[in-house]
Amino acid sequence: MQTRTLGHTDITVVPLMLGGNVFGWTIDEAASFEVLDAFVARGLNFIDTADVYSRWVPGNQGGESETILGKWFKARGTREKIVLATKVGMDLGDRKEGLKAKYIVEAVEASLKRLQTDHIDLYQSHKDDESTPLDETLEAYQKLIAEGKVRAIGASNYTGARLREALRVSKDKGLPSYETLQPEYNLYDRKGYETDLEPVAEEFGLGVVPYFSLASGFLTGKYKTREDAKGAKRESRVDKYFDARGEKILRALGEVAEETGAKEASVALAWLLARPSITAPIASATSPGQLEALAAAVELTLDAAAVKKLDEASAY
């Protein structure tokens, strides 16, 4: 199975990142364990979560996803098989938010406890915090790396300009650099990444791990029409994709899936993996069956004609 490295690190991953946002949200602990077991059985090794997952669920406080992962690590003894990524910075209530040094040092300890581990492989700034000097944030990460609690750092939800500035500060002050970028990017949502962020990622050799890789399920083949999405948990997110361009993308996706014998989800992820700047797309699964289509993308290589068809259908 193919592997790639994260930015300039020696961290090797199979190029599919399992999204942990569903753990403790759309699936409970038992179902999460089933997905995680199937994930490892397929030879995959890269998992993404965040301390805020899944605070938006009534009755949750945040940390539910990390807690489930921690229990799974302990029950299965799988921690050393996994490249573990989590994030800090989103609002957890009680003034727990942002990227100030004092808060990062506190937040990482809470994450480590929930995850039942002594280190995080990739610790990511979940969103930019313009109220905190970039060097303050990076100095906090430097401390965590020196202590062995974090191996590498990444950025999510930054603009190209702010990401470039953070990388400049790292170089000028001898501080750790962001090795990865986590942007929104998929066949439909292309323009923001390709015009603003990709040039920075390529210039600095960042690993790119895009979220919403399947456009909240729109690109899985599950929804052929707007009516198909009625009543779905993600109806409000999926609805915006059902315009003329979105329907054109679905037709092309269906054609390539038929030509290759692969699922639409596999094709959508393989299109991302065919782009040189992409390291590993993030996708979530709520059952072992869904995971199969995601895992298949790692071994699916689209030919030039298929890539061109999808490029043209999704042109902006």
- Let me know if 53 is a catalytic residue: yes
CA distance 69 to 66: 5
Read out DSSP for 14-74? -S-EEEGGGBTTTB-HHHHHHHHHHHHHTT--EEE--TTTTTTSTT--S-HHHHHHHHHHH
Q: What is the pLDDT of residue 223?
A: 81
CA distance 272 to 262: 15
**pLDDT over threshold 80, residue 39:** yes
Q: Select which of 53, 103, 188, 211 is catalytic.
A: 53
150: helix, strand or coil? strand
CA distance 267 to 86: 27
pTM of the model as a whole: 0.96
- The more confident residue out of 231 and 79 is 79
CA distance 53 to 92: 10
Q: What is the pLDDT of residue 229?
A: 66
Torsion of CA 158, 279, 234, 268, to 10 degrees: 130
- Across 209-214, average pLDDT: 98
**pLDDT one-digit tens code per residue, 148-199:** 999 999 999 999 999 999 999 999 999 999 999 999 999 999 999 999 999 9
Task: Note the Cα 35 to chain centre separation in Å.
Answer: 17
**pLDDT one-digit tens code per residue, 80-103:** 999 999 999 999 999 999 999 999
- Across 266-292, average pLDDT: 98
Tokens of 195: 């015009």
Are the beta carbons of 20 and 54 closer than 8 angstroms? no
Q: Which residues of 54-86 are buried (b: 16+ CB within 10 A; e: fewer)?
A: bbeeeeeebbbbbbbbbbbbeeeebbeebbbbb
Spatial strand order of the sheet with 282-283 comes to 207-208, 178-182, 150-156, 120-125, 83-88, 46-48, 17-19, 282-283
**pLDDT one-digit tens code per residue, 108-137:** 999 999 999 999 999 999 999 999 999 999
Q: What is the pLDDT of residue 233?
A: 62
What's the fold here for domain 12-182?
A: TIM Barrel (3.20.20)
CA distance 301 to 6: 21
Tokens of 44: 């995959």
* Token pair 């003894």 in the structure block, residue: 77
187: helix, strand or coil? coil
